[in-house]
Chains A and B, each alone.
Chain A
């Protein structure tokens, strides 16, 4: 059973469209991270959100941490082909340094 469920699993959109992907859990997390993975490479950290209700912006990407710290969302404005990849959310297991990862959302942005 995955602690973190992501939706949708797959998303194919055209350049210029907006989109939102979700990361949900029944458990409370002290923080959540978002990673992006491009084909043939390992995941790379995009952002960490640590406070309930927090919103962080990274250029066209907006990340939000739910008030109850059980969910997070990633919104991309005016998607570009370079945004194509697998988006993974991850949260720490207790106070340990290990993470549990979500199931991932595979995004394809076409011209």
Chain B
């Protein structure tokens, strides 16, 4: 069965370190997204990609970067981790690149809980 996985599931790091969170999907979806989830804020979009070599900034992109070298993977890098980046991170993918958004279901991974000390 197709799926979307994230690793690691839990990560503790120190302020200033570079951290990379992995996201891998076997849906063969063009679209991939990274969100962070914090109490009272729901899901906020960090970065997204509509295909290989395409990346775009979301509403909370400062301090984060992504790269898309193939269809399956969209790793999220925290260049220099800060305590404000302690959060739960979710990766998602969806099939359509444009088209009718009404049918653009997003499939989510299980999340990565990141703690920055």
Interface residues of A (CB under 8 A from B): 2, 4, 6, 9, 30-31, 33, 40-45, 48, 50, 88, 90, 92, 95-104
Contact = CB atoms under 8 A, between A and B. Distances in A.
Provide the main secondary structure of the chain B interface: mixed
B50 to A, nearest CB: 7
B110 A42 contact: yes
Nearest to B90: A42
Nearest to B6: A42
B97 A101 contact: no
Contacts of B97: 97
A9 B40 CA distance: 8
Interface stretch (B13-21, B69-77, B98-106): B98-106
B31 A97 contact: yes
A77 to B, nearest CB: 25
Interface of A is mostly: loop
Contact of B105 (A2, A30, A33): A33
A104 B40 CA distance: 8
Contact of B102 (A44, A50, A88): A50
Contact of B111 (A30, A41, A96, A99): A41
